[in-house]
Structure 1
Amino acid sequence: MTHETCPRCGGRLARDNDSGRCTPCQAAERDRLSAPPTVPASFWEHEPVRLALAERHLGRVIRAYRCHPYHGRVALPQTVVAGWLGITQAQLSRVENGPPLVHLDRLAHWAQLVGVPASCLWFGLPDQPYRPDVSAAKGRADEPYGDSEVTERDDLPSMAVTVEGASTEGGGATDRRRFNAMAALAGLAAAGHSHLLTGPAEVPRNIGMEQVRLASSLVQDFRRADAAAGADRLCDVAVQAHARLSAWAAKANYSREVGDALQSALADLGIQAAWLATDAERRPEARPYLNEAITRARIADDPRMEVQALTQLSMLLRDSQPGESLHCAEAALRVSARWATPRLTTLLHLRRAHTYAVLTDTSGFSREMTKARRELERGPHEDDLGFVDFVNEQEVNGIQGLSYLALDRPDRAAQSFRAIIANPSPGHRRNQVYYTVHLSEAAYQQGDVNEAARIALDVLPAVSQMNSGRISRHLAQMRANLAALRQATTATRQFVNAYDQAVVG
């Protein structure tokens, strides 16, 4: 059966037309070898394109783009589209059929090149604020993991997965990346609450402590999955969960006791969403969640949740507003003075130490680091809040290393980062990778470009497994630094080539 009209302009086709395009449209696009054509808005509503976008896989989006009937009965050749993107046909084939791209610069550049509307994307474009479409999680296509399939559809409760196994169970590294986002939903699935994210958005008439417990357990699931693999693929899930539960809090009926507990749970979920946005390099989205969390904590008269929000806000503001960052950490210390555990106090002194380093205040940095180590030596406490689980010797060394980098002491920074590598924390693999990337940076700042390249090359596979825009950005900067050397070495060329290959394949 042949088309009777041109899919591009709607004009009738001659009976002997076997190209699928009318003559004027064929003439209008003879320059497509050099640049993508301008397509109508309806182009992106085509079912294969829509499904590919819902999968968050730009390679599949490009494949659906090439095969769109708008281009005629014959799909655009891979060689043509690869020419637009500045890669080879073989590289495009790997992009289309391999794991999803994770590097934001490449994602943004290619999306803009083929003209994907910003409203359809799951990441921000340059100079365009990212506004997540929380409805995008509905109807998402199957996500593979090893020989099984995990879905985000109405049959989600059948998932037989656990968050704790997300970082250790079988399957390839590329599959594990996608699996971790689904693992964050395991608690919901097991409890039969998958409708919170995938079902209708109706607000229940009445809610009780069951919904409050749901929100609290979801935060714990997010923390475990994030510690294993980073935030990129978890961020939108947290945003949607927060939006759904916030609607419940605003419109449903509940008792005063439930209301206070719900406000605290929503504050906790908002803080987690803010952290995931920060690690996913979507920092502008983070602060509104933290401001809201502080308000909810005060409504519920929950100083512990207020301190948690202030602690996160101190980190968020450290580089852009260091003075305010210090005030937030100081306020958290003041509010928690009577009940803070040693690990919480350690974290607050670490926040201040790093900020003083950003301000190049060496004495302030040294003073706060001394206090942090003294508190850490007091050990864990039964009243430790869940969000301080990552505060250990490795984290103290990591913040010390970052602070020394800010103080232009790469030699001392390298010592701190090497101490982390020598004694890793298995439960916080993402942080281990993060600080290893910074070890490469410290070696580069010391002038040892071969060592910097070697470390970067060794950690490249692990970064590729992470879902952390923050880590990806730092490694991309290391690639730029090493590629810009006037005299490249064998080691630097090897890393740059491996990095470029990993980006497209």
Structure 2
Amino acid sequence: MSAPPVVPASFWEHEPVRAALAGRHLGRAIRAYRNHPYQGRSPLPQSAVAGWLGITQAQLSRVENGPPIVHLDRLIHWARLLRIPSPYLWFSLPDQPSAMQSTDAERPDHEPVATLETAGTANPPIPADAATPASERGGGTTDRRQFHALAALAGIAATGFHDLLSGPVDAPRSVGMEQVRYAGSLVEQLRQADAVAGADQLYDIAVRIHSRLSSWATTATYSREVGDALQTALADLAIETAWLAIDSDRRPLARPYLNEAITRARIADDPRMEVRAFAQLALLVRDDHPGESLHSAEAAVRASAGWGTPRLATLLHLRTASTYAALGDAGGFSRAMTKARREFERGASEDDMPFLHFVTAQEVQGIEGLSYLAMGRADRAADAFRAITENIPPALRRNRIYYTVQLADAQCRLGDVNEAARTAMDVLPELDQVGSGRVWRHLAQVRSSLGQAQRPTATSRGFIDAYDQVVSR
């Protein structure tokens, strides 16, 4: 089998499986899973299950027989792959609570599950064991009226949408192309809403939609053709959810969605979706694991061989260039940037995937600026960011704000405190309109740098006071 089978609910009541999960040892649970009577006369081979999990047979043997796994991202990813119901888990999945934990009534201090009222909050409830950094922006809530206004912004109040958020929804017994098209339309509506409202408002909504629609793939029946299309649609949704996690500065929550997207894309034999997932994974892990980022970008290049358009090649070479910069490899960065510019000059194609609309001349210049910043060349970075902020199209407001904040950071590093404060002050009134925790985090770094300056000025103190006032609201 190329993927874990759908098993009945009674599967998880088998005593060896229950005991392993109750003992919080996922490796033993996997061994019990392989040896379950449901699998037939012979246990599932370690090599097959290791392939599902993305590890070698030897590694799976160590997982089954060694100490319990403690890495949350791996626990979440494998629990999702094997479709272990949340009531049997001792940790919380990003989109639902763990029922093995005490209920809210028994633990009044436990964060409530997101509801329709809180689905769009700027600081939503996050599982305590998710190890997610707190936003530096501060509080903020969204009530029912704000949520409906948000939904109306992009027309995502389509039939069935609120049902997916506000209450239990039974998965359809059978899925056809109509439902698959519906899933695809929700992904597109999320993208449109993101352009208007920003990721802070949308991440929880995307998580809920993902949770509900994923149940279609696990419990419904459908033809092979519909199944492939459904896997592609769900991979697209997982990638969009991962992006919203990244942009809202919930980066630790993004990786399981990208791992899932890669798996679904491979099940559906959809190289386009696989390339998208690898490209986003390269972006996600670039700063903390640049070596893995480089491998992910190279995997995307290989998967796109023979069909990739110049714009896609541009994006992948930009991912590679920024990773070389994070590694401090100036030569590798220069070679990759040359390839990116060469591909960009070949122009757009009618075969370009819709998500590539952001790959513009300004984006190429922006990645170059970020790379110079990573390599300690703040002067070259400032030149690139300044050119972007002066020429970026009005429709790409979020990009202009993001690169303006980066310009302020570069000016700080050059010691130009007054200019950095003026640049940051210019963008401060617009930040509430983009809903990006990632942008707020970068601006918080600028504020911290200006606050630590040896010679604060009236201009820098003015920005610090204005920033603190906005955050305290």
TM-score (norm 2): 0.71
Instruction: Spell out the pairing of 1:324-363 with structure 2 (5 A cutoff).
Output: 324-363=292-331
Which one-letter code corresponds to 1:313 in the other structure?
Answer: L
Q: Give the share of equivalent positions with the same residue, in percent.
A: 58
Which one-letter code corresponds to 1:498 in the other structure?
Answer: A
Aligned-partner Cα distance in 2 for 1:192–1:295: 27
Q: Counterpart in 2 of 1:313?
A: 281
Tell whether 2:341 aligns with 1:373: yes
Q: Which ranges of structure 1 fall in alignment gaps of 5 or more residues?
A: 1-40, 59-99, 105-120, 132-139, 145-149, 152-178
Instruction: Spell out the pairing of 1:32-111 with structure 2 (5 A cutoff).
Output: 55-56=117-118
Q: Against the structure 1 CA distance between its residues 465 and 43, is the aligned structure 2 distance closer, same or farther, given a 3 Å change threshold?
A: farther
Which one-letter code corresponds to 1:394 in the other structure?
Answer: Q
Q: Counterpart in 1 of 2:131?
A: 129
**Deviation readout 1:230-276 (Å, 9 max, x if unpaired):** 21111111111111111111001111111110000000100111111
Contact persistence 2:245–2:251 (CA under 8 A)? yes
Aligned-partner Cα distance in 1 for 2:292–2:454: 40
Q: Counterpart in 2 of 1:287?
A: 255
Q: Against the structure 1 CA distance between its residues 181 and 317, is the aligned structure 2 distance closer, same or farther, given a 3 Å change threshold?
A: farther
Contact persistence 1:354–1:402 (CA under 8 A)? yes
Helix, strand or coil: the match of 2:328?
coil
Q: Counterpart in 2 of 1:143?
A: 145
Aligned-partner Cα distance in 1 for 2:269–2:105: 50
Tell whether 2:458 aligns with 1:487: no
Which one-letter code corresponds to 1:333 in the other structure?
Answer: V
Residue 428 of structure 1, CA deviation: 2.5
1:456 to 424, 427, 431: 424
Tell whether 2:442 aligns with 1:440: no
Q: Against the structure 1 CA distance between its residues 439 and 201, is the aligned structure 2 distance closer, same or farther, given a 3 Å change threshold?
A: same
Aligned-partner Cα distance in 2 for 1:427–1:339: 29
Q: Counterpart in 1 of 2:189?
A: 221
**Deviation readout 1:395-433 (Å, 9 max, x if unpaired):** 111101100101111111111111111111333322221
1:253 to 218, 221, 227: 221
Q: Against the structure 1 CA distance between its residues 367 and 180, is the aligned structure 2 distance closer, same or farther, given a 3 Å change threshold?
A: farther
Residue 193 of structure 1, CA deviation: 4.2
1:183 to 109, 134, 153: 153
Helix, strand or coil: the match of 2:145?
strand
Moved more, 461-470 or 235-244: 461-470
Q: Against the structure 1 CA distance between its residues 484 and 122, is the aligned structure 2 distance closer, same or farther, given a 3 Å change threshold?
A: same
Aligned-partner Cα distance in 1 for 2:167–2:113: 18
Contact persistence 1:464–1:502 (CA under 8 A)? no
Contact persistence 1:353–1:366 (CA under 8 A)? yes
Residue 335 of structure 1, CA deviation: 1.2
**Deviation readout 1:154-182 (Å, 9 max, x if unpaired):** xxxxxxxxxxxxxxxxxxxxxxxxx4465
Contact persistence 2:370–2:381 (CA under 8 A)? yes
Aligned-partner Cα distance in 2 for 1:376–1:334: 19
Aligned-partner Cα distance in 2 for 1:180–1:421: 28
**Deviation readout 1:284-304 (Å, 9 max, x if unpaired):** 111111111111111111111
Tell whether 2:264 aligns with 1:262: no
Q: Counterpart in 2 of 1:422?
A: 390
Q: Counterpart in 1 of 2:446?
A: 478
Larger Rg: 1
Aligned-partner Cα distance in 1 for 2:349–2:468: 46
Helix, strand or coil: the match of 2:144?
strand
Aligned-partner Cα distance in 2 for 1:239–1:468: 17
Residue 386 of structure 1, CA deviation: 1.6
Q: Against the structure 1 CA distance between its residues 366 and 130, is the aligned structure 2 distance closer, same or farther, given a 3 Å change threshold?
A: closer
**Deviation readout 1:204-241 (Å, 9 max, x if unpaired):** 11111111111111211222222344211111111111
Tell whether 2:201 aligns with 1:233: yes
Aligned-partner Cα distance in 2 for 1:468–1:449: 25
Q: RMSD in angstroms over aligned alpha carbons?
A: 2.7
Residue 122 of structure 1, CA deviation: 2.5
Tell whether 2:387 aligns with 1:384: no
**Deviation readout 1:409-460 (Å, 9 max, x if unpaired):** 1111111111111111333322221111000001111110000000111111
Q: Against the structure 1 CA distance between its residues 51 and 265, is the aligned structure 2 distance closer, same or farther, given a 3 Å change threshold?
A: closer
Which one-letter code corresponds to 2:316 in the other structure?
Answer: L
Q: Counterpart in 2 of 1:405?
A: 373
Aligned-partner Cα distance in 1 for 2:410–2:300: 31
Contact persistence 2:116–2:165 (CA under 8 A)? no
Contact persistence 2:199–2:436 (CA under 8 A)? yes
Residue 200 of structure 1, CA deviation: 2.7
Which one-letter code corresponds to 2:465 in the other structure?
Answer: N
Aligned-partner Cα distance in 2 for 1:456–1:282: 23
**Deviation readout 1:368-399 (Å, 9 max, x if unpaired):** 11111111111111111122111011111110
Q: Against the structure 1 CA distance between its residues 307 and 438, is the aligned structure 2 distance closer, same or farther, given a 3 Å change threshold?
A: same
TM-score (norm 1): 0.67
Q: Against the structure 1 CA distance between its residues 251 and 425, is the aligned structure 2 distance closer, same or farther, given a 3 Å change threshold?
A: same
Residue 128 of structure 1, CA deviation: 5.5
Aligned-partner Cα distance in 2 for 1:499–1:441: 15
Aligned-partner Cα distance in 2 for 1:472–1:248: 36
What is the number of residues matched between the two proteins? 361
Q: Against the structure 1 CA distance between its residues 434 and 44, is the aligned structure 2 distance closer, same or farther, given a 3 Å change threshold?
A: farther
Which one-letter code corresponds to 1:297 in the other structure?
Answer: A
Aligned-partner Cα distance in 2 for 1:226–1:469: 13
Helix, strand or coil: the match of 1:194?
helix
Helix, strand or coil: the match of 1:384?
coil
Residue 42 of structure 1, CA deviation: 6.0
Contact persistence 1:274–1:286 (CA under 8 A)? yes
Which one-letter code corresponds to 1:200 in the other structure?
Answer: P
Q: Against the structure 1 CA distance between its residues 452 and 337, is the aligned structure 2 distance closer, same or farther, given a 3 Å change threshold?
A: same
Aligned-partner Cα distance in 2 for 1:194–1:372: 42
Residue 141 of structure 1, CA deviation: 4.4
Helix, strand or coil: the match of 2:254?
helix
Q: Which ranges of structure 2 fall in alignment gaps of 5 or more residues?
A: 1-103, 134-141
**Deviation readout 1:172-206 (Å, 9 max, x if unpaired):** xxxxxxx446535x24x334543233343211111
Residue 466 of structure 1, CA deviation: 2.1
Q: Against the structure 1 CA distance between its residues 497 and 244, is the aligned structure 2 distance closer, same or farther, given a 3 Å change threshold?
A: same
Tell whether 2:290 aligns with 1:322: yes
Residue 490 of structure 1, CA deviation: 0.8
Q: Against the structure 1 CA distance between its residues 180 and 440, is the aligned structure 2 distance closer, same or farther, given a 3 Å change threshold?
A: farther
Contact persistence 2:116–2:166 (CA under 8 A)? no
Q: Against the structure 1 CA distance between its residues 331 and 388, is the aligned structure 2 distance closer, same or farther, given a 3 Å change threshold?
A: same
